[in-house]
Chain A
Amino acid sequence: MPAEYIYQRTPLSKHIYLTWTLAIKSLKVRYKNSVLGFVWSMLTPLLYLAIFTFIFSQAFFDIENYPLFALTGLIFWNFFSGATVTSVNSVIDAKGVLKSIKIPAIILPIAEMISSSINLLLTFVPFGALMFFLGAQVGFETLLLVPLFILFSMFVLGVGIFICALNIFFRDVGLLWTTLMPAIFYFTPIAYSAKLIPEKFLWLINFNPVFHYISAFREVLYYNIVPSAQLWLIISSLSVFFLGLGLSVFLYLEKGFISNY
């Protein structure tokens, strides 16, 4: 016999407002206790930039304007790693609330993602200035950053909620993800150019979804060209696929969350 169940539904507008409130809270808390505050979120990519420029600009002398090249990749990598890592534990950290108030668990990783996106947009102001200083060109194609960023956030959200859902059942997943981060970083042409990869291994890099996004961002910001239709098609499909995968896995596993927090 199917269960009969009557209860008061919460309007979607309240959930949206709650998500926004949690995102702002997470942003505030992130920098509340540190003296440098907001500056911290720029310090990590800047430090990497300094190291890479120091080490690699000699090795990769064929890359013109290496600091700008590295920076255009690092900013978005930093968003990817930061946003996925913070969303992994978002549901577990809120278990107390989820055990007493009826709110959809998916609100929590989404709020983390929004908070990371806002953070990226905020750091984009000083980084934009730095890129300009390093000799970046601004043109019509710069506007393409908006759709690119939306597609990239969809991808990051999909990956984030996928790992977040699995991590509730197996805490290894979260630890594994943190461990994998540096490996994926070096597997993605961020500090180096994809042109340096030997021809016979080039097919391998195509399996790295992050690579396609970084390439598109770099084409817009560094090469000042409009990414090809093929690249747009690849990243759009990846975004839809990963968001769909993340959402379906999360919603499928959601009923088992409560006994595994």
Chain B
Amino acid sequence: MAEIAQHNQQQVMVEAKDLHLGFMVAKHGINNMKDFLFTFGIKQPFERKEVLKGVDLTIFKGESFGIMGRNGSGKSTLLRAISGIMKPESGSLKVYGKVAPMMALGVGLEPEMTGEENIKLLGILMGYSNREIKDSIDKIIEFSELSDDDIKSQVKRYSQGMMTRLTFSITVARDPEILIVDEALTVGDLGFKKKCAKRIMDIRDGGGTIIYVSHHLDEIKQICKRGCFLKDGKVMKTGNIEEIADLYSREVSKKRL
């Protein structure tokens, strides 16, 4: 409780109260017109699948917050809600800042275009202005450690590691207010991983908020201080990352019912 009291002084960045969220899925795999036409009218073709069943969560400014949970526990959906991609159905969700997601490998990159053109493209997708991209392009290239030749060649000739470098460098270029990292550091060599982790902590120390999702216990312990454990669309526990990581290890070793 002392921990909560300490946080009371801080500014809240993300606050979820009894957050419910789900989506419509096609029942028994209706994926074509024929099934649709035959079942429509007789059966409801879609059913509501609730993924988040009352999430309570508070994330403060300047902290890195870890989210753990088994596959299908609702981690990605929660992140999408925070990013504003999926709207809450009931409950409340308040996000007081601009969210920058760390994108999965190759997402948002146009393989036919050069690294340099992709910096502009992905930058604009992330909401940077032209001016901001011009100002930070040198920094982005420098951070990615891609050579001049690489940056001028088409992204389809990049290795996976190079793509990750490019995406990460663009994402962190403008010190995002809320940075979402979803198991993104799994590709890339050890040197770059360390550099990414350092950059993430720099952003945090500069007042940015980090939301970090990972299954790697060491990685998450290194980056986060506090975290939560999601189970079946609910927050099972919020607290010190060590406790969360222990809970996670225990839960994972349990057999699924």
A33 touching B89 in the complex, CB below 8 Å, given contacts A21-B124, A256-B46, A259-B25: no
B103 touches A170 (CB 8 A): no
CB closest chain-B residue, reference A173: B33
Q: How far is the CB of B159 from chain A (nearest CB, A)?
A: 19
Q: Which 8 A-B pairs have the closest CB atoms?
A: A96-B107, A4-B92, A259-B23, A102-B84, A6-B94, A3-B88, A172-B33, A100-B101
Mark each residue of chain B from 101 to 145: 1 if its CB lies under 8 Å from any CB of chain A, else 0: 101101110101100010011001111011000000000000000
Residue B190, interface by CB 8 Å: no
CB closest chain-A residue, reference B177: A8
B93 touches A97 (CB 8 A): no
Interface of A is mostly: helix
Mark each residue of chain B from 17 to 38: 1 if its CB lies under 8 Å from any CB of chain A, else 0: 0001001111000011110100
- Complex Cα–Cα for A55 and B124 (A): 50
A172 partner, pick from B32, B88, B120, beta carbons under 8 A: B32
A21 touching B94 in the complex, CB below 8 Å, given contacts A172-B33, A258-B85: no
CB closest chain-A residue, reference B32: A172
Number of interface residues of A (CB under 8 A): 37
- Complex Cα–Cα for A103 and B108 (A): 12
- Complex Cα–Cα for A15 and B80 (A): 19
CB closest chain-B residue, reference A4: B92
Q: What are 17 A-B contacts with C-beta separation under 8 Å?
A: A3-B88, A3-B93, A4-B92, A5-B94, A6-B95, A7-B94, A17-B129, A96-B106, A96-B107, A97-B125, A101-B83, A101-B108, A101-B126, A255-B87, A256-B23, A256-B46, A259-B24
B31 partner, pick from A18, A100, A170, beta carbons under 8 A: A170
Mark each residue of chain B from 46 to 65: 1 if its CB lies under 8 Å from any CB of chain A, else 0: 10010000000000000000
Mark each residue of chain B from 196 to 223: 1 if its CB lies under 8 Å from any CB of chain A, else 0: 0000000000000000000000000000
- Complex Cα–Cα for A254 and B148 (A): 41
B113 partner, pick from A2, A25, A96, A173, beta carbons under 8 A: A25
CB closest chain-A residue, reference B76: A99
CB closest chain-B residue, reference A33: B112
CB closest chain-A residue, reference B98: A8
A171 touching B31 in the complex, CB below 8 Å, given contacts A8-B97, A25-B110, A260-B26: yes
Residues of chain B contacted by A170 (CB below 8 angstroms): 31-33, 36
Residue B99, interface by CB 8 Å: yes
A100 touching B95 in the complex, CB below 8 Å, given contacts A28-B113, A29-B113: no
Number of interface residues of B (CB under 8 A): 48
- Complex Cα–Cα for A10 and B92 (A): 20
Residues of chain B contacted by A18 (CB below 8 angstroms): 124-125
Residues of chain A contacted by B252 (CB below 8 angstroms): none
Besides A4-B91, A169-B36, A176-B33, 12 other A-B contacts (C-beta < 8 A): A3-B87, A3-B89, A3-B93, A5-B92, A28-B113, A96-B103, A98-B85, A99-B80, A100-B80, A101-B108, A101-B126, A170-B33
Residues of chain B contacted by A172 (CB below 8 angstroms): 32-34
A96 touches B95 (CB 8 A): no
Residues of chain A contacted by B99 (CB below 8 angstroms): 8, 102
- Complex Cα–Cα for A138 and B89 (A): 59
CB closest chain-A residue, reference B154: A32
CB closest chain-B residue, reference A26: B110
Which residues of A are interface residues toward B (Cβ below 8 A)? 1-8, 10, 14, 17-18, 21, 25, 28-29, 32-33, 96-103, 169-173, 176, 255-256, 258-260
A101 touching B23 in the complex, CB below 8 Å, given contacts A3-B93, A25-B121, A170-B33: no
CB closest chain-B residue, reference A32: B112
CB closest chain-B residue, reference A13: B129
B85 touches A99 (CB 8 A): yes
B124 touches A17 (CB 8 A): yes
Residues of chain B contacted by A99 (CB below 8 angstroms): 80, 85
Q: How far is the CB of B81 from chain A (nearest CB, A)?
A: 9
Residues of chain A contacted by B83 (CB below 8 angstroms): 100-102
Residue B39, interface by CB 8 Å: no
- Complex Cα–Cα for A102 and B83 (A): 6
- Complex Cα–Cα for A5 and B82 (A): 10
A2 touches B93 (CB 8 A): no
Q: How far is the CB of B117 from chain A (nearest CB, A)?
A: 8
- Complex Cα–Cα for A6 and B16 (A): 10
Q: How far is the CB of B138 from chain A (nearest CB, A)?
A: 20
Residues of chain A contacted by B87 (CB below 8 angstroms): 3, 5, 255
- Complex Cα–Cα for A255 and B80 (A): 13
A3 touches B90 (CB 8 A): yes
Residues of chain A contacted by B236 (CB below 8 angstroms): none
B103 partner, pick from A1, A21, A100, A255, beta carbons under 8 A: A100
